[in-house]
Amino acid sequence: MHNVQPKPLWKRVGKRVLHAGIPIPGVLRPVIRALYNLGVVIVESWAFVKKLLWIEPVVRSVCEHVGSGLRAECLPYMRGKGRLRFGDGVNLSGRSCFYFLSYMPELPEIQIGNNVFIGNGCTLASARRIEIGDHCLLAPFVRIHDNDGHPTDAEKRRDGQSIGPDDVAEVVIEENVWLGASCTILKGVRVGANSIVGTGSVVTSDVPPNSIVAGNPARVIRKGPVNVE
């Protein structure tokens, strides 16, 4: 049996310092709670003022239409020229990105329905049209593209050519759809009403209504009615 050598004094002292805590007397706890609650009020009040005086005016200025009840924690990143429409009660949680490929023959558009939640880090890239139906939930880092981004022909990519109309097909997300975190919806896809797309899935073909799909490429793992209140 080997003898276990004690740790050097500096390591033992350092470990105790790292794990040490400051005891809080009971008389100070109400004061600390009050300061914390005050901090929450200040942060939330500033977020409201920023939305009222900066975020919402900018969004309404650059979008073709913005309905009532917009909620936005951060100013979304918008690039390119296109039509961006928000319905009523849209909630932009964190920073989302909206891209338009404006060199297409027709001005691209993105249509967001009523009461849609868009999580942090979501990206919608439109060269023709992306439509999100009412009451949809987009978890963080969802990506929706109605185009290939680059030509599928290797020589065209090498020459730096842009995509053409044949590389574009509109995407439609019908009402009451839940898109799981980090999933990707590719061009030409229609996701049927009340469906769920699993986390990290890559959807390359249409999703039937009232179904759950998952995987890469996504496959139907359950069909049937999905309860909707």
Strands (E), 38-189: 65-66, 71-72, 77-79, 83-86, 91-92, 97-100, 109-112, 117-118, 123-126, 129-132, 137-138, 143-145, 171-173, 178-179, 184-185
Residue 27 has what DSSP assignment? G
Q: Is residue 148 part of a domain?
A: yes
Q: Is residue 14 part of a domain?
A: no
The three-class DSSP label of residue 5 is coil
191, 197 contact by CB (below 8 A): yes
Residues 6+ apart with CB under 8 A from 58: 75
CATH number at residue 84: 2.160.10.10
For every one of its 229 residues, what pLDDT tens digit does the chain have, with 9 covering 90 and above?
556 677 787 777 778 777 777 778 888 898 999 999 999 999 999 988 988 899 889 998 999 999 999 998 889 999 999 999 999 999 999 899 999 987 788 899 999 999 999 999 999 999 999 999 999 999 999 999 999 888 888 888 888 888 888 889 999 999 999 999 999 999 999 999 999 999 999 999 999 999 999 999 999 998 866 554 4
Peptide bond between residue 140 and the one before it cis (omega within 30 degrees of 0): no
Q: Is residue 16 part of a domain?
A: no
C-alpha to C-alpha distances, 153 to 136, 166, 180, 203, nearest whole angstrom: 35, 12, 31, 22
The three-class DSSP label of residue 94 is coil
Instruction: Identify whether 2 is a catalytic site residue.
Output: no
pTM: 0.81
Q: Is residue 26 part of a domain?
A: no
Q: Is residue 99 part of a domain?
A: yes
Q: Is residue 39 part of a domain?
A: no
- What is the rounded end-to-end Cα distance, in angstroms, of the chain? 66
- Residue whose C-alpha is closest to residue 175's, from 223, 135, 124, 148: 135
Torsion of CA 185, 187, 192, 193, to 10 degrees: 70
Number of domains in the chain: 1
Set 2, 19, 65, 150: catalytic member: 150
Distance CA 156, CA 169 (A): 19
Q: What's the domain range around 151?
A: 63-223
Torsion of CA 133, 138, 142, 148, to 10 degrees: 0
Q: Is residue 25 part of a domain?
A: no
Q: Is residue 112 part of a domain?
A: yes
> What is residue 9's predicted lDDT score, i.e. its pLDDT?
78
> What is residue 225's predicted lDDT score, i.e. its pLDDT?
62
